[in-house]
Structure 1
Amino acid sequence: MLTPQDVRQPSNSSPVVPCSARHTAETFAIGTLPASTGSSYDDRRHGRWIYHTCQQRFDRFLGADESLALRIRLSWAWFRPSQDAWGQGARWYRCDVVGGPDGARSYRPLPTTARGLFSKQQPNTWLTCARGATVTGSVKVPCSARHDWRAVTAVKVGQPGDPYPGDRIVQVRSRDYCSDWVGAWMHYPTDYEFGYTWFHRAEWQAGNRRSVCWARTDR
């Protein structure tokens, strides 16, 4: 039963509970940090290595592709040993899926297991929609709740090896690609509204090459 306050800490020793009981987190990956990430407890290389490792396994665990993974109301957290255990040589890591997006103030209970949650269907309870006049500044809500916008895809705005092209280029690509994609998703109506969420240099350097496209719809 993790909380957002728990996942902000580098280590966690919360009591485990059966997955058949009420829970907000489920461990989906464990392993050992490689020597290449350094021997210091706070070395930033740990996080960079973990980002790719846990993100890929998170997607596979849920049955989600890159696009869908950016549009769901689930996220993941990772933990390492306590500083005392680290000093004694422990180097394990643990990746947990948690029942809320990054920045959530609270987590919702997960199903008995989140494994394969999106492999056969896309439950509205865990998809991201928004309520507000525009996407910018809107309140993000589950698509099972009343909403004005739905995140319908996440378009690719660059290739893995590309250097960051700058804010303006990413924004323009996001706008143009999302305009085309949302128009097709809505079957090319004569008039439609769309929005987009694009990311900056820090997310690009972490490996993200996608922007989220939104369609104005209450469905």
Structure 2
Amino acid sequence: MRGRLTAGTMLVALLTNLALAGCGAELPAAVDGELTDDWAKVAQVKGYEPVVGACYGATPKDTGGRADSVVDCKPTHYAETVHVGRFTFDHKPGPKERAAAFRDCDKQANAYIGRPWGDGKFFLTLTVPTDPAWDGGARWYRCDVTESTTVFGESRWTTRIGTLKDGISADALLRCGKAVQKSGRIQDILNVPCTMAHNTEYVGTFRAGDLVAYPKSERQWDVLHRECRKLVGTYLGSQSAAGRFGLISSPNGLRSWSEGDRSVRCLIWFGGKTTKKSAKGSKGRGLPGY
């Protein structure tokens, strides 16, 4: 804003001098009469550009950048930028463009962390320029990862320490859990050590295709269950054993799905029975219901 005011004041001053000069004699030969050709070029004001690896003291939201609270990653922080991409068009991104950007975020976040971000209690957020920033020429998008108290129930953002480049801390990884049920429905899954009694275990995450509908009917849920069943088999080390157990398919919700987050977390589920060991590589032997 100050730059525009300064330029405006300069222009008024020059026009005043021109009016005064017009009242005098002809211009000297050394004066060409062109006012602007000798002006120094004014440097273009550089807008905010996000940086990969930056951490923030607040949760992600669409931004112009100036008010973002960038902090050191070593102390506590809420979010970390794992990738920065660019839109290649001038119209503001709609649902399809945002979904495509999220797909890029998904891939790049996994590469940045060194494993699927869904393996932890994390959410991936697409952060884009605010309307004023977009109108000012900003075309970047940010991919931010935040940690939460849970990814299966009512979650709350939580601070973390250190960069995700160093890996996911053990307490943030999804492993074994206790399913909390109410009226026959799973409300949440509490992380517990695998040596404690548990009735679920996280086996992996997959990304559903862009044309896959958010599950509302049994048939639509079956599309996700089939993919989760494959991950259960891989985790057990036996695809044939996978069919002996229940499973949980957990997308991040309708709103996240519509914005391009097609991640689905998969868990093996023992129903009302529990075990005190990990199912990984067991081929199902020794597990409840085998």
Query: Is the CA contact (8 Å cut-off) linking 1:125 and 1:142 kept in structure 2?
Result: no
Normalising to structure 2: TM-score of the pair?
0.53
Q: Does the alignment pair 1:52 with 2:68?
A: no
Query: What pairs with 1:47-196 in structure 2 (closer than 5 Å)?
Result: 47-65=98-116, 69-100=117-148, 101=151, 105-115=155-165, 117=167, 123-127=170-174, 129-133=177-181, 136-144=185-193, 147-154=198-205, 167-172=217-222, 174=225, 178=229, 181=232, 185=236, 193-196=245-248
Conservation of the 8 A alpha-carbon contact between 1:75 and 1:97? yes
Counterpart secondary structure, 1:28: strand
Q: Does structure 2 conserve the Cα–Cα contact (< 8 Å) formed by 1:71 and 1:212? A: no
Q: 1:144 to 1:25 in 2, by over 3 A?
A: farther
Alignment check: 8 A CA contact 1:25 1:99 kept: yes
Whether the 8 Å contact between 2:86 and 2:139 is mirrored in structure 1 is yes
Tell whether the 8 Å contact from 1:48 to 1:206 is kept in structure 2 after alignment.
yes
The residue type paired with residue 39 of structure 1 is H
Displacement, 1:60? 1.1
Q: Distance in 2 between matches of 1:61 and 1:212?
A: 22
What 5-or-longer segments of structure 2 have no aligned partner?
1-55, 278-290
Partner SS state of residue 160, structure 2:
coil
Distance 2:250 2:147 in 1: 23
Q: CA separation in 1, counterparts of 2:80 and 2:228?
A: 35
**Deviation at residue 62 of structure 1 after TM alignment:** 1.5
Q: Separation in 2 of the partners of 1:90 and 1:184?
A: 44
Give 5+ residue unaligned stretches, structure 1.
none
Quickly say closer, same or farther: Cα 1:175–1:52, change in 2 above 3 A: closer
1:26 aligns with 2:80: yes
| Contact 1:24–1:109 (Cα < 8 Å) also in 2 | yes
Q: Share of identical aligned residues, percent?
A: 14
The number of equivalent residue pairs is: 203
String of CA shifts for 1:120-147, please: whole Å, max 9, x gaps: xx83532153432599423133345975
Kept in 2: contact 1:195–1:214 (CA 8 A): yes
CA drift of 1:206 comes to 4.5
Larger RCO, structure (CA 8 Å, separation 6 or more) = 1
Change (3 A) 1:179 1:133: farther
